Amino acid sequence: MTQQTPDGTDDAGKAGVNADPGSADPAVTPDPAAAETPGVETPVAADVAAGRSRLLKPAIVASAVLALAAVVAAAVYGGIWIYNASAVKSKADDRDQALIDARQAAINLNTVDSAHMDKTIADILSSSTGALEDNFKQSKDQLEKVTEARGVSTSAKVSDAVITSFDHDAGTAEAMAFVVQTQTSKDQQPKIVRIGMHLTMKKVGDTWKASDAKLLFQGVDGGSPTAPAPQPAPAPADGN
């Protein structure tokens, strides 16, 4: 029951009048965010940001170093791979060229045109080097006389050829060539001769030339191949 005061007000009204104007309604909670000044960083937040920055900088530097190392490694290994691939291709190309020049040498060494001996000698010398070239230079005059006197001419084509050994660094190669030679002369019918040759090749500039040529076999087409004459047996030693 509400009691009236002498001035005509009740207790509740009096309480409302006497209430502390600075006290807050306990049902209303102040908003902390509203008390903060916008755009102003608190000391705690600043410390956290500074710490995070100190932690991130070494990580960023480490990541950059690793990325750079990966790029450098890729460039180095890529360069090595390209160099190796190029070197392998260079050797393969050089071996192919040695075979091409060996085939041409086999043709030139087995081709004679009695009507054009100057060209014949020039072709032979273009495919020879070293001792083989020297031998042809020394005997070319005799070869011209005999060939022109007999009217002998030969043409040749290579049926097959193979490189049996190859040394890219030394610039040397060994080859076998199988030649089909057609021979004609004034007093004989044309005949086909099959020839097997062993060629020692030497690189001279960009060209492979024959420094030695050995006959492995020779036979007229339809006949039995003729092997080189056997060497005489060595004389027995004294006392045997």
Asked, for residue 97, whether it belongs to a domain, the answer is: yes
pLDDT at 85: 60
pLDDT at 176: 98
pLDDT at 23: 45
Question: Given CA atoms 166, 196, 135, 150 in this order, what sign does their dihedral have?
Answer: negative
User: How far from chain centre, in Å, is Cα 240?
Assistant: 61
Question: What residues form DSSP beta bridges with 197?
Answer: 177, 215
pLDDT at 19: 44
Asked, for residue 195, whether it belongs to a domain, the answer is: yes
Asked, for residue 142, whether it belongs to a domain, the answer is: yes
Asked, for residue 60, whether it belongs to a domain, the answer is: no
- The helix/strand/coil state of 201 is strand
pLDDT at 106: 98
User: How far from chain centre, in Å, is Cα 35?
Assistant: 73
In whole angstroms, give the CA distance from residue 201 to residue 128.
9
Closest of 89, 146, 64 to residue 112, by C-alpha: 146
Domain count for the chain, please give it. 1
Q: What is the domain range of residue 188?
A: 86-220
pLDDT at 175: 98
Asked, for residue 205, whether it belongs to a domain, the answer is: yes
Asked, for residue 29, whether it belongs to a domain, the answer is: no
180 contacts 194 by C-beta, under 8 angstroms:
yes
Residue 76: CB atoms within 10 Å: 10
Burial of 90 per CB tally in 10 Å (0-12, 13-18, 19+) = exposed
Closest of 181, 182, 157, 165 to residue 103, by C-alpha: 157
Beta strands in 81-227 (DSSP E): 112-113, 153-167, 172-185, 188-204, 207-220
Q: Please state the pTM of the whole predicted model.
A: 0.59
List per-residue pLDDT tens for the chain, 240 residues long: 444 444 544 544 444 444 444 444 444 445 544 444 454 445 555 555 555 555 556 666 667 667 777 766 666 666 665 656 666 678 999 999 999 999 999 999 999 999 999 999 999 999 999 999 999 999 999 989 888 888 889 999 999 999 999 999 999 999 999 999 999 988 888 999 999 999 999 999 999 999 999 999 999 876 544 545 444 444 444 444
pLDDT at 194: 97
Asked, for residue 65, whether it belongs to a domain, the answer is: no
CATH of the domain at 145: 3.10.450.230
Asked, for residue 180, whether it belongs to a domain, the answer is: yes
pLDDT at 212: 98
175 contacts 102 by C-beta, under 8 angstroms:
yes
